[in-house]
């Protein structure tokens, strides 16, 4: 019975060791953990990159809804953006795609040193883009508060 009691302790120790190793590699581990909802499942740089990729993909999806609306809610929301807004949105989209492809390249290459530098790069980009995303989403939400819906989807694509 004592041997069974050691097994969970050993597993905990292994997890703790992997987390400590990841923390030593990623100086901003705690900020990454909070920002990308990292858990004990994300014990290596590849898993961290995948979580970052999920955030990137959600941002990309939001911008695509504005740039190329197909669903009713997107058709309505895109009408609140003028041409200057759409230019900013496309610039943000371009930055997101570059960052997303950087993560993809790092995953294909799968070299630890490169993974770490890619995580740092992607995090820097996402931190810069986050305020812009907040503005876009806030404006999308305001479209429902300020514009009248007259039973006809308006699209000025």
The residue written with tokens 């858990």 in the block is 39
| The length of the chain, given as a count of residues | 157
How would you classify residue 135: left for phi > 0, otherwise alpha for psi between -120 and 50, otherwise beta?
alpha
What are the pLDDT digits (tens) for 65-103? 999 998 888 889 999 999 999 999 999 999 999 999 999
Q: What is the rounded distance in angstroms from the CA atom of residue 40 to the CA atom of residue 62?
A: 28
Q: What percent of the chain has pLDDT over 90?
A: 62
The more confident residue out of 34 and 10 is 34
CA dihedral over 27, 32, 34, 35, signed as positive or negative: positive
Q: What is the rounded distance in angstroms from the CA atom of residue 44 to the CA atom of residue 142?
A: 40
The more confident residue out of 19 and 60 is 60
Supply the pTM of this predicted model: 0.81
**pLDDT number for residue 83:** 94
pLDDT at residue 5 greater than cutoff 60: no
């Amino acid at each position: 019975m004592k041997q069974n009691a050691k097994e969970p302790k050993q597993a905990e120790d292994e997890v703790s060791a992997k987390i400590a190793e990841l923390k030593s590699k990623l100086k901003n581990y705690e900020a990454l953990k909070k920002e990308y909802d990292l858990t004990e499942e994300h014990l290596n740089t590849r898993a961290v990159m995948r979580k970052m990729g999920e955030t990137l993909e959600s941002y990309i999806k939001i911008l695509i809804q504005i740039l190329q609306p197909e669903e009713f809610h997107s058709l309505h929301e895109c009408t609140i953006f003028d041409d200057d807004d759409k230019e900013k949105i496309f610039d943000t989209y371009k930055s997101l795609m570059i960052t997303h492809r950087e993560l993809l390249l790092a995953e294909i290459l799968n070299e630890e040193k490169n993974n770490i530098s890619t995580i740092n790069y992607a995090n820097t980009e996402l931190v810069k883009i986050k305020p812009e995303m907040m503005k876009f989403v806030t404006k999308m939400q305001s479209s429902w508060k300020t514009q009248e819906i007259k039973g006809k989807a308006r699209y000025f694509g």
